[in-house]
A and B are shown apart, each in its own frame.
Chain A
Amino acid sequence: MMGSRLLLWLDRMVAMTVKELKQLSRDPILLIVIVYFFTVDIYVAGSGIQMDLKQAAIVVLDHDHSAASRDLIYRFRPPYFDLKGEISSEHEARELLDRGDVLAVLDIPADFQRDLMRGKNVSVQMQVDASNATLGTLATTYAGQIVARFGQEQAKERLGLTEAQLQAVPVIQDRHRVYYNPNQTDPWFMSISELLTVITMLSLMLPAAAAVREKERGTIEQLAVSPLTPAQILFPKILAMGMIILLGAAVSLFLVILPAFHLPIKGSLVLFFIVTALYVFATSGLGLFIATLSHNLGQVVMLVILIMMPLLLLSGAWTPPEAMPDALRMAMVLSPLSYFIEMGYGILLKGAGLDILWDSLLGLALLGVVIFSFGVWRFRRQFR
């Protein structure tokens, strides 16, 4: 008796899951969305942003015109800077900066060389357009390094020190090792962050779309009078969409991120997909909730956007928790994405295992149960 009941239950689950997959395969818009976001979108996001100073335009106001000033000026070269020539007045400098034609103006004082020779302290001025704060910071950092190196060489000459002697003075030698992403390759970071965001968006949208479609077409009434229990209607939807999302994640990881950006996967892929599956189930609870609020796919998309925003804000996808205001950092425990981000970066980039990530996994599991039960509860109420 028990056995045949279980078989029947399984049979219904399989039949419904196949039905969901077939229905999805006949929805061109959703198919295009799935393919687009798992391939093109991740590629564009990964290759689009390189947040480093690249050939920033700089001009020089050289009041000295000496060998020393020229030596310094010609150190402002690609890759960081691109010397756009010399100008003759403060006024011109201001105008170029106002128009955004140059990022910085280097101002070398008169008597630059003479003061250097006399062993006086000289300062070089740089005006930086900081309306883009990131670039302003980077420009100052790199310019500071260039000027410091110039200064060191001048000092070496004047102190009469040789290379060998320089090795025998008391200084700190900066030996840094960058973990996980040695060359600060932006695409590694950007593509993973985008992949996790896309998984979030689709695990909200696909289950919601599958549920709303029944409402839109009125087939929900047929399901309600069928011998299926509400759970047998719901789980196949989540199962089918979850499978599609895991497949999409695999495609984007193996066919886009790995070949295009050469991401070295440090941790266990099995663990990554288990975590992803757990996350997709947790988030699909919210998707079901969205389905109870909307009547058509258009509204689903709008609600997905509305719910995505706070999830993203509280996730640390672009900004690590320590850089957020305290109140927001506390609220991060409420966003399932924050655990997923921590584990996603942890597994893929850092090679962390369960021994380190167990607390995030536990957090996601607990939050997932709450969200999922909430979604199912809201959705089941519709059958009453």
Chain B
Amino acid sequence: MNVSRIKAIAYKEWREILRDRLFFTMAFVVPIMTLLVLAYGLSLDVEHIPFSVIDYDKSAMSRDYLHRFIDSRYFDFQGEAAGERELDDLLADSRIRFAIIVPPRFQEQLLSGRPVAVQSLIDGVFPYRTQVSKGYVAAINADFSTELLSRYIAQTRGIRIEQASVLVAPVRLETRYLYNQAIRSRWSMSTGLIMLVLMFAPPFLTALGVVRERENGSIYNIYASTVSRGEFILGKLLPYIAISALNIIILWWLVIELFGAPFKGSLLFFFPASLIFVVCTTGIGLLVSLLVRTQAAAALLTMVITFIPAMLFSGLLVPVESMDRATQIEAHLFPAVYYLNIVWGSFLKGLGWSALWGNVLSLLIYAAIIWTIGLLSFHKRPRQ
């Protein structure tokens, strides 16, 4: 290993990156844009759900009942509909996501101590949002029922209303949200997306860069030179690691400034750990570049083997523990799982070396394996 040769190669690579304007733009724009697009585009906060109602009863009680939906911050009232046909059309046109139909004689039935069935129609196109909306509706119904019931019990048994409400709902669940008190999905997503971006952008750039050398034939200069394969790979990849290191800082800053996520951990833990992750994923790019011959193929193969695992098998959307056994093993074959623990641990949980060293160690081992395979399969005398 000769340091000045490595420096020369790294400098050459850097100049080449700077000269290709499109490539240079990609290096910084793609990570930032991915973060923005996915963090804004994949919002999982279920709020402002547009809805409509039909009130066949038009009594004081039905108005009181409907106002619990209208006044809720989760719902966005779109006015009363004239009939059920209109509701169907509004739902089909996505103008509303759910509707409530209060039946005739709503107040009369309840006052005379009989149950009333209230129909709600929910748009099921976005399954997760449907699930959550259903939960909101059920909660409002349950609250209203509890009040009705305690009033009824208080009346029929001649006890005080407070006493009756304890009788009706004796157990309460108090939830404490740790790490993300207001359960803002934007905090989870934007921080988690640092993992996604650093999983696919470094290998993407690296693979393109290495393959470009081969595509335009300038790699023969390297083959013919005195540079050893280790020196070449190290020099070649250093600029990409440097770009990614810069991107770590940019992403970290954006997530805090733009999405308001807290950073509770230690920078002295987060940055070194992130750098190790970037070294890992850059190594993946090296492997990809050894498998394909054209830039187009390199770009597509990288997307396939990094983006999908990072999205689906990392714990970003579905926790790894909930996957079946085979998928769990598959998930642990990618470095994304370990790094996501590091990101969420550092940002939201305020953890550091003592709690997360295992994940860092896994990344180190991973990097060592990837780079060794990469080094050994790069030959200066390619078989033709």
Contact = CB atoms under 8 A, between A and B. Distances in A.
A303 B20 CA distance: 13
B144 to A, nearest CB: 6
A155 B319 contact: no
Interface stretch (A167-175, A227-235, A238-246): A167-175
Given A128-B178, A131-B180, A324-B40, A171 B124 contact: no
Interface string A173-187: 111111111101110
Interface in B177-193: 177-181, 183-185, 187-189, 192
A123 B178 contact: no
B137 A298 contact: no
Interface residues of A, number: 116
Interface string A208-252: 010000000000000000000000000000000000000000000
A39 interface: no
Given A133-B188, A168-B113, A176-B137, A159 B173 contact: no
Contacts of A302: 22-23, 26, 208, 299
B138 A145 contact: yes
A346 interface: yes
Nearest to A167: B115
Contacts of B148: 170-172
B246 interface: no
Contact of A319 (B42, B110, B127, B153): B42
> Looking at B30, B114, B123, which has the most chain A CB atoms within 10 Å of its CB?
B123
Given A133-B185, A171-B148, A320-B97, A29 B297 contact: yes
A121 B119 contact: no
Given A49-B312, A170-B111, A313-B41, A296 B295 contact: yes
Contacts, number: 350
B174 A123 contact: yes
A317 to B, nearest CB: 7
Interface string B323-356: 0000000000000000001001100110100010
Interface string B292-312: 001111111000100010011
A312 B37 contact: yes
Contact of B173 (A49, A116, A147, A294): A147
Given A136-B183, A302-B22, A324-B43, A50 B300 contact: no
A177 B349 contact: no
A150 B171 CA distance: 8
Given A320-B94, A350-B92, A174 B171 contact: no
A57 B321 contact: yes
B295 A301 contact: yes
Nearest to B136: A141
Interface string A115-157: 0100111111111111111111110110111011011101100
Contact of B92 (A36, A158, A356): A356
A98 B351 contact: yes
Given A298-B208, A346-B94, A174 B138 contact: yes
B49 A306 contact: no
A99 interface: yes
A140 B139 CA distance: 12
A306 B134 CA distance: 37
A170 B181 contact: no
Nearest to A300: B296
B311 to A, nearest CB: 8
Contacts of A100: 341, 344-345
B183 A133 contact: yes
A130 B322 contact: no
B120 A175 contact: yes
A174 B137 contact: yes
Contacts of A300: 296
B33 interface: yes
B122 A177 contact: yes
A140 B175 CA distance: 7
Given A170-B110, A322-B97, A44 B175 contact: no
Minimum-distance CB pairs A-B, first 8: A298-B295, A181-B124, A184-B127, A133-B185, A297-B296, A171-B145, A130-B180, A151-B171
19 contacts: A48-B311, A119-B170, A135-B319, A137-B183, A147-B171, A155-B167, A170-B111, A170-B152, A172-B141, A181-B125, A300-B296, A301-B300, A306-B30, A317-B41, A318-B41, A320-B129, A323-B129, A349-B125, A350-B91
Interface of A: 29, 33, 36, 41, 44-45, 48-57, 72, 97-100, 103, 116, 119-138, 140-141, 143-145, 147-148, 150-152, 154-155, 158-159, 167-182, 184-186, 188-189, 209, 293-294, 296-303, 305-306, 309-310, 312-315, 317-325, 328, 342, 345-346, 349-352, 356-357
